[in-house]
């Protein structure tokens, strides 16, 4: 997987580059907008990480030009501008996700991976399966080893999010955005509580735990057999 | 002297001076015409009387000729008291009275009768006991054989009356002019004074003393008092904002100093000590935690500032508050169970309102966060929401969140909304003291009122939205 980082702060860029390389990506870096646009057009990248404020050509203009020329590569915008409005402007310009500085690298990685997965051909599914955990999206039923599991609506969406991203870290912020539609972090540990309730329902009475906490970044639902995660 | 000069320079004084002059001129014209009318009136009256007297004498003259006339004249002149009228029959050879008649009057003389005003000195020898300086109005009638009948009236009283009238007119005009100038100056002075108060207050504030206010009289409501009160309210608001800015800056500096200091110490000691892998893990976790706290503080401050700017009004939508609360309830009920708290949720009405949904969610999240933070095992958290009518019968939505925590003392009810205000003055508990500031900012944006009350024990927070059409 090839990623292009367009970021004028050299230290930040090197930090992201190093992190992505350690996670198995090939990461290129350019420091100004014009070069970034050229590079993005002339190479087949799997995803772009673009800072909003760049010399010569700003991030949003790069994205608009790329989208205008029909590039649909996933784009993650990085920005120090964090209002809801700025976020909306970024997504409107054609960005796929928006990350406000300062951020944790694990957050960036998780979001990038989610974007890459989203970009893969994605047929409509009505069933999700991770190991012996099955979710029927139409009947809104969840079973594990054929035992019915009763979930509250929020718990259902939470589990669905984790199951759709099986094997990938989902950060707390991502869960807040996807499940609760919050762009703020409640002081109360609502996520922990809900995760622990889901864990109590899907893992407690079974030998192999599926849901794991990744310290300092988020949660991951693992497929114990390492086989494909979702079925049509 | 400088006050006097300043008054002279004021536009109100100049205006009132123009008015004074104009008004005085109009008054003078009016009074002078009154004077003229009065003068003519008196003259006409005298002339009518003189004609009457003359006719009376001529009646007798017709019967008894000059002899009878002289008798009558003698009787009339000797009437008791000082008679107002003078009578004389003078032969032309002794004194030609017609020379007193102005030449122009001569031409219009009818029936040998002419009026004229003459000094008595010319004829004093023909009338007894008269002062030669007096002026008389005379009517001259020429009789056959060179006789001239003179009937005169003293002009002294008329003159003095007219003189008095003239004086009174002059005095009135001067008084009007003086008074209007004085009133103008007084008004200018008063106005200058009030404007000076404003200028003085502004100068004081510019010099840095923000507590100065424009003096106003509390039970008066003229335009200056209204202006003063408006300006004072503005100044008060400005001072409040400046104070809170200062306080925010101080508190921010204080709240940042602690985590930054911890980070610094940690890095220093890490430099000195041999760090184990486990120790490094702890070190970086603690440092990230501290930095995240600092970031959270900044984010909260920025959010509040953004909400206060009114910008989120762009995302105004109509929505069902009960659905939003249901969502929150589902989330927090799980937390209550985990913390072994009793959770009661009583929201059944359909509650339509308009606003920024994200911010309303954040408002209630912050209030619930506080309720959970200060509740201990076995405590009870109750969330209620309902439609109510206030005293004016306007529909409102009241949401209450109550807990059995330590509550907020009455004297802190207003202060807790200030940025960085903490009930725990040692600032040792978790939190940045911005949660309720954000609640207040969101409430203000939605024109909602927040009211704290004692839940005995604990805190009951009521958020009241005046119900808008969704």
CA distance B293 to chain A (A): 11
Q: Does B330 touch chain A (CB under 8 A)?
A: yes
What is the reported pLDDT for A231?
A: 39
Q: Which residue of A has its CA nearest to B336?
A: A193
Helix (H) or strand (E) holding B253: helix B223-272
Give me the pLDDT at residue B55, please.
85
Q: Does B77 touch chain A (CB under 8 A)?
A: no
Sign of CA dihedral B22, B24, B30, B32: negative
Interchain proximity B331–A154, CB inside 8 Å: yes
- In chain A, the residue whose alpha carbon lies closest to the alpha carbon of B372 is A188
Who among B327, B334, B430 is closest to A194 (CB)?
B334
The mean pLDDT value of chain B amounts to 83
Chain A residues with beta carbon closer than 8 angstroms to that of B311: 83, 85
Residues A26 and A99 grouped into a single domain: yes
Residues A23 and A108 in one domain: yes
The complex's ipTM? Answer: 0.81
**Strand A127-130 with B135-142, pairing:** unpaired
What pLDDT, on the 0 to 100 scale, is given for residue B427? 60
- pLDDT means per 10 residues, chain A with 232 residues, are 91 91 91 91 92 90 92 91 78 89 88 82 77 91 92 92 90 89 84 92 90 88 66 37
Average pLDDT estimate for B277-305: 85
Strand order in the sheet with A211-214: A170-171, A218-221, A211-214
Q: What is the CATH number of domain B314-466?
A: 3.30.565.10
How many domains in chain A?
Answer: 2
Contacts of B353 (CB under 8 A, 6+ apart): B318, B319, B321, B360, B397, B446, B465, B467, B468, B470
Whole domain around residue A107: which residue ranges?
2-119
Which span out of A61-75, B1-15, B98-112, B113-127 was modeled with the highest average pLDDT?
A: A61-75
Q: Which of B339-348, B357-366, B416-425 has the lowest mean pLDDT?
A: B416-425
Residues counted in chain A: 232
- Statement to judge: residues A40 and A98 lie in one domain: yes
Last residue of a domain, one of A70, A86, A119: A119
Choose from A101, A186, A191, A197 for mutation: most chain B CBs within 10 A: A186
pLDDT of amino acid B238: 86
CA distance A150 to chain B (A): 14
> What backbone torsions phi and psi does residue B104 show, to the nearest 5 degrees?
-70, -35
State the DSSP string of A92-140.
HTT-SEEEESS--HHHHHHHHHHHHHHHS-----SEEEETTEEEETTTT
Answer whether B369 sits within 8 Å of A180, measured CB to CB: no
Delimiting residues of CATH 3.30.450 domain(s) in chain B: 2-160
Of A85, A100, A119, which closes a domain?
A119
Q: Suggest the residue from A84, A179, A185, A189 to mutate for an interface test with chain B (most B CBs closer than 10 A).
A: A84
pLDDT of residue A232: 35
B295/A102 Cβ within 8 A: yes
- pLDDT, tens digit, 9 for 90 and up, residues B429-445: 667 788 899 999 999 99
The predicted model gives B103-115 an average pLDDT of 59
With contacts defined as CB-CB under 8 Å, which chain A residues touch B332? 188, 190
Give the gap in angstroms from C-alpha A45 to the nearest C-alpha of chain B: 32
The residue in chain B having the minimum alpha-carbon distance to the alpha carbon of residue A193 is B335
Give the CATH fold of the B2-160 domain: Beta-Lactamase (3.30.450)
Q: How far is B331 from chain A (nearest CA, A)?
A: 7
- Reading the block at residue A107, the tokens are 């957050």
SS3 B212: coil
Residues A103 and A139 grouped into a single domain:
no
How many contacts, defined by CB atoms under 8 Å, are there between A and B? Answer: 62
Same domain, A110 and A165: no
Contact yes or no for A193 and B334 at CB 8 A:
yes
Check B299 against A82: CB less than 8 A apart.
yes
- Using a CB-CB cut-off of 8 Å, the residues of chain B touching A216 are 285, 288
CB distance from B314 to chain A under 8 Å?
Answer: yes
C-alpha dihedral sign at B53, B54, B58, B59: negative
Number of H helices, E strands in chain B: 9, 11
Q: Which residues pair with B449 in a beta bridge?
A: B464
For residues B393 and B444, is the Cβ–Cβ distance under 8 A?
A: no
Q: What percent of chain B has pLDDT over 70?
A: 93
Is the Cβ pair A85, B314 closer than 8 Å? Answer: yes
Pick from B306, B338, B365: CB nearest A83: B306
* Residue A47 domain flag: yes
Least CB–CB distance from B311: residue in A82, A85, A184: A85
What value does the mean pLDDT take over residues B207-225? 83
Same domain, A43 and A19: yes
Q: So what's the pLDDT on residue B1?
A: 54
CB contacts of A187 in chain B (<8 Å) are: 366, 369, 373, 430-431, 435
**Cβ contact, residue pair A104, B288, below 8 Å:** yes
Residue B408 CA to chain centroid, in angstroms? 42
Q: Which of A119, A136, A160 is the last residue of a domain?
A: A119
Residue in chain A closest to B306 (alpha carbons) equals A83
Given a cut of 90, is residue B341 above it in pLDDT?
yes
Domain B223-308, CATH: 1.10.287
Per-residue confidence (pLDDT) for residue B411, from 0 to 100? 87
Tell me, yes or no, whether A152 and A212 share the same domain.
yes
Question: Which of A36-45, B204-213, B279-288 is most confident?
Answer: A36-45
Show the tokens assigned to A163. Answer: 């199951």
For chain B, what's the residue count? 470
Q: Where is pLDDT greater, at B15 or A123? A: B15
B220 touches chain A (CB under 8 A): no
pLDDT at B463: 95
Contact A190 B331 (CB under 8 A): yes
Residue A110: count of CB within 10 angstroms of its CB: 23
User: Mind telling me how many Å the CA of B445 is from chain A's nearest CA?
Assistant: 16
What per-residue confidence (pLDDT) applies to B190? 80
Q: Do A184 and B335 touch (CB under 8 A)?
A: no
Give the pLDDT band (50/70/90) at residue B128: low
A chain contacts of residue B368, beta-carbon cutoff 8 Å: 186, 188
User: Does A207 fall in a domain?
Assistant: yes
Q: Which residues of chain B form CATH 3.30.565.10?
A: 314-466
Residues of chain A contacting B, Cβ within 8 Å: 82-85, 102, 104, 152-154, 180-190, 193-194, 196-197, 216
Distance from CA of A93 to the nearest CA of B (A): 19
- Contact, B467 vs B387, CB < 8 A? yes
Judged against a pLDDT cut of 80, whether residue B124 lies above it is answered with: no
Integer Cα distance of B24 and B22 in angstroms: 5
For residue A108, tell me if it sits in a domain. yes
| Burial of residue B423, with CB atoms counted within 10 A of its CB: 0-12 exposed, 13-18 middle, 19 or more buried | middle
Instruction: Assess whether A115 and A132 both reside in one domain.
Output: no
Q: Which residue has the tokens 């970086």?
A: B284
CA–CA separation, B390 and A50 (whole Å): 53
- Residue A50: what pLDDT? 94
Domain match, A109 and A17 both: yes
Cα separation of A141 and A139, whole Å? Answer: 5
Chain B residues close to A83, C-beta within 8 Å? 302, 306, 311
Distance of CA B105 to the CA centre of its chain: 65
Average pLDDT over residues B273-291: 82
Residue A230: inside a domain, yes or no?
no
Same domain, A105 and A33: yes
User: Is residue A227 one of the residues assigned to a domain?
Assistant: no
Looking at the structure, tell me whether residues A113 and A145 fall in a common domain.
Answer: no
Tell me: do A114 and A134 sit in the same domain: no
- pLDDT tens digits, one per residue of B155-201: 777 778 888 888 888 888 888 888 888 887 888 788 888 888 888 88
Inside any domain, residue A177: yes
Residue B108, pLDDT > 60, answer no
Nearest CA in chain B to A80: B299
**A197: nearest CA in chain B?**
B334
Instruction: Check residue B276 and report its DSSP letter.
Output: P
């Amino acid at each position: 997987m090839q990623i292009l980082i367009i970021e004028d702060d050299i230290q930040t860029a090197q930090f992201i580059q190093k992190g992505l390389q350690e996670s198995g990506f090939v990461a290129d870096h350019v420091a100004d907008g014009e070069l970034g646009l050229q590079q993005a057009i002339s190479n087949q990248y799997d995803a772009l990480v673009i800072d909003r404020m760049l010399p010569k050509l700003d991030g949003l203009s790069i994205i608009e030009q790329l989208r205008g020329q029909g590039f649909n590569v996933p784009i993650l915008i990085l920005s120090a501008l964090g209002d809801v409005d700025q976020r909306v402007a970024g997504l409107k310009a054609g960005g796929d996700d928006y990350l406000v500085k300062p951020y944790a690298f694990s957050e960036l990685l998780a979001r990038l991976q989610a974007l890459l997965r989203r970009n893969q051909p994605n047929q409509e599914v009505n069933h999700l399966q991770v190991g012996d955990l099955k979710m029927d999206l139409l009947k809104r039923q969840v079973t594990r080893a054929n035992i019915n599991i009763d979930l509250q609506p929020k718990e259902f969406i939470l589990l669905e999010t984790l199951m759709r991203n099986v094997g990938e870290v989902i950060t707390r912020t991502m869960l807040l955005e996807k499940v609760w539609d919050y762009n703020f972090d409640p002081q109360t540990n609502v996520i922990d509580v809900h995760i622990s309730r889901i864990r109590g329902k899907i893992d407690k009475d079974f030998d192999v735990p599926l849901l794991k906490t990744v310290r300092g970044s988020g949660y991951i639902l693992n497929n114990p057999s390492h086989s494909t995660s979702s079925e049509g | 002297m400088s006050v006097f000069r300043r008054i002279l320079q004021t536009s109100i004084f100049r205006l009132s001076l123009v008015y004074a002059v104009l008004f005085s001129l109009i008054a003078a014209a009016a009074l002078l015409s009154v004077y003229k009318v009065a003068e003519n009136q008196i003259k006409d009256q005298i002339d009518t009387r003189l004609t009457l007297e003359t006719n009376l004498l001529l009646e007798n003259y017709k019967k008894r000729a000059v002899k009878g006339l002289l008798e009558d004249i003698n009787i009339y002149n000797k009437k008791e008291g000082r008679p107002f009228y003078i009578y004389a029959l003078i032969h032309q050879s002794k004194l030609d009275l017609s020379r007193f008649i102005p030449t122009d009057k001569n031409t219009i003389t009818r029936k040998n009768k002419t009026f004229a005003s003459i000094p008595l000195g010319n004829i004093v020898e023909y009338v007894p006991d008269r002062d030669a300086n007096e002026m008389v109005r005379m009517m001259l009638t020429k009789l056959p054989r060179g006789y001239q009948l003179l009937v005169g009236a003293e002009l002294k009283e008329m003159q003095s009356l007219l003189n008095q009238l003239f004086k009174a007119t002059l005095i009135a005009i001067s008084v009007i002019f003086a008074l209007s100038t004085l009133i103008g100056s007084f008004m200018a002075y008063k106005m200058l004074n009030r404007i000076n108060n404003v200028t003085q207050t502004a100068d004081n504030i510019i010099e840095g003393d923000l507590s100065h206010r424009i003096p106003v009289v509390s039970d008066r409501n003229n335009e200056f008092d209204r202006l003063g009160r408006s300006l004072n309210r503005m100044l008060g608001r400005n001072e409040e904002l400046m104070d809170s800015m200062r306080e925010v800056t101080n508190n921010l500096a204080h709240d940042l100093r602690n985590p930054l200091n911890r980070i610094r110490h940690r890095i220093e000691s890490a430099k000195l000590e041999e760090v184990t892998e486990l120790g490094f893990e702890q070190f970086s976790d603690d440092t990230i935690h501290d930095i995240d706290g600092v970031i959270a503080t900044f984010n909260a401050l920025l959010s509040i500032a953004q909400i206060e700017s009114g910008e989120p009004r762009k995302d105004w939508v109509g929505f069902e508050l009960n659905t939003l609360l249901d969502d929150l309830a589902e989330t927090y009920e799980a937390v209550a169970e985990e913390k072994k708290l009793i959770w009661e949720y009583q929201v059944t009405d359909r509650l339509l309102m308009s606003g920024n949904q994200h911010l309303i969610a954040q408002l209630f999240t912050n209030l619930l966060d506080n309720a959970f933070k200060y509740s201990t095992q076995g405590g009870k958290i109750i969330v209620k929401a309902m439609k109510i009518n206030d005293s004016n019968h306007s529909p409102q939505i009241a949401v209450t969140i109550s807990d059995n925590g330590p509550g907020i003392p009455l004297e802190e009810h207003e202060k807790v909304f200030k940025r960085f205000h903490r009930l725990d003055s040692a600032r040792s508990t978790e939190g940045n003291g911005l949660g309720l500031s954000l609640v207040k900012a969101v409430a203000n944006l939605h024109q909602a009122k927040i009211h704290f009350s004692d839940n005995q024990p604990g805190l009951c927070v009521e958020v009241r939205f005046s119900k808008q059409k969704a």
